[in-house]
Amino acid sequence: MSSDVTPTAKPVKTTGLHVGDAGPGVRKVDPILIADGVKRTFGGLTAVDVAHVEVPRGAITALIGPNGAGKTTFFNLLTGFDKPDEGKWEFDGRSLAHVPAYRVARMGLIRTFQLTKALGLLTVMDNMKLGAKSQTGENLFRSVLPFLWRKQEDGIEEKAVELLTRFKLEPKKDDYAASLSGGQRKLLEMARALMSDPTLVMLDEPMAGVNPALTQSLLDHILDLKSQGMTVLFVEHDMHMVRHIADWVIVMAEGQIVAEGDPHTVMQDPAVIDAYLGAHHDADLGIDTEHVEVLKELIDDEQ
């Protein structure tokens, strides 16, 4: 566990994000994403059943919850990689229901995957180019405006180099993505996500499998996104990370939002402790013991 890692940049916490008392589904002053009645079942299993949730703009929000809580499924639904049985949700005031994943991305909502999708048999640079929004217009540019296309491709490459340098991957730009370490692939995925100038970046377990040295820089990169005006929604298991960089925490358990609030308050919420410690559950339900340990540690810290 990389609990001894803290961000080098002092995070500037954003305050006053919500309207009224914090709690599941609380309204935000300036929501960038709003989901309403979003439900997804797999056979008899209800994986996601979110009554209402709003993600505050310009802040870092952590989505936490035990394994199997429905976090990844919820990410998939929000970004068009899966379809809900019912419900509606909007991004920046525009409905996203029935909008396919590539169009969601073009609208400025980019996500990364829990299991990294960097394409191993492409070079690092080609992975970056794939992240460029403009590639959707590739054919038109190539056939009709070859000059403009070349100019645009230069721009893309320049931007890719700039991002790779920022993520310390520039020396590896001609290597196959498959040759990168797990942590470097996470960095590549994040760098690639930034190729399209997103306004909302959703990261599914960005720190998982990343060694402590890289964890540090990933954390700083996430803080950077916020300082550049982006909104971040990330799933994370390490509660120390959550506490250090999140302005807001949303807790899911068994498909539902069970708590929301600022990190310090949420960690002391009985609903959260319940969700993690499984007070009403049987250990057979697959409560993630690592989670429980981390939370216990954190509660001790707070006292």
Ligand X SMILES: Nc1ncnc2c1ncn2[C@@H]1O[C@H](COP(=O)(O)OP(=O)(O)O)[C@@H](O)[C@H]1O
Residues that bind Mg ion (CB under 5 A): 71-72, 114
Shortest approach of Mg ion to residue 72 CB, angstroms?
A: 3
| Nearest to Mg ion of 113, 176 (CB atom) | 113
Q: What's the chain's length in residues?
A: 303
Which of ligand X, Mg ion, none sits in contact with 147, Cβ below 5 to 8 A by type? none
Only one of the segments 18-26, 52-60, 62-70, 155-163 lies at the binding site for ligand X (rule: CB under 6 A); that segment is 62-70
Cβ proximity to ligand X, 220 vs 288, nearer residue: 288
Q: What's the closest the beta carbon of residue 16 comes to ligand X, in angstroms?
A: 29
x/- letters, 18..47, toward ligand X (CB under 6 A): ------------------------x--x-x
Please, what is the minimum distance in Å from the beta carbon of residue 71 to ligand X? 3
Query: Least distance from C-beta 153 to Mg ion, angstroms?
Result: 35
Q: Could you tell which of Mg ion, ligand X, none binds residue 73, using a CB distance below 5 to 8 A set by kind? A: ligand X
CA gap 71, 75 in Å, rounded: 6
72 in contact with ligand X (CB under 6 A): yes
Quick one: how far is CA 72 from the chain centroid? 10
* Residue 181 contact partner, candidates Mg ion, ligand X, none, CB within 5 to 8 A by sort of partner: none
| Per CB under 6 A, 65 contacts ligand X | yes
Per rule CB under 6 A, count of chain residues that contact ligand X? 11
**Contact flag: residue 198 with ligand X (CB under 6 A):** no
Taking CB under 6 A as the rule, does residue 70 contact ligand X? yes
Stretch that binds ligand X, among 29-37, 65-73, 101-109, 262-270 (CB under 6 A): 65-73
**Phi, psi for 230 (deg, rounded to 5):** -85, 160
Location of structure tokens 């250990």: 283
Binding ligand X (rule: CB under 6 A), the pick from 7, 24, 68, 183 is 68
What is the chain written as a DSSP string? --TT---SS--------BSSS--TT--BSSEEEEEEEEEEEETTEEEEEEEEEEEETTSEEEEE--TTSSHHHHHHHHTTSS--SEEEEEETTEE-TT--HHHHHHTTEEE--SS----TTSBHHHHHHHT-GGGGGHHHHHHH-HHHHHHHHHHHHHHHHHHHHHTT-GGGTTSBGGGS-HHHHHHHHHHHHGGG--SEEEEESTTTT--HHHHHHHHHHHHHHHHTT-EEEEE-S-HHHHHHH-SEEEEEETTEEEEEE-HHHHHT-HHHHHHHHTTTS-GGGT--HHHHHHHHHHHHHH-
Residue 7 binds ligand X (CB under 6 A): no
Residue 234 beta carbon to ligand X: minimum distance, rounded to whole angstroms: 12
Which phi and psi (to 5°) does residue 228 adopt?
-90, 5
Q: Is 71 in the site for ligand X (CB under 6 A)?
A: yes
Q: Does 62 bind ligand X (CB under 6 A)?
A: no
CB-nearer residue toward ligand X: 113 or 176: 113
Contacts to ligand X by CB under 6 A:
42, 45, 47, 65, 67-73
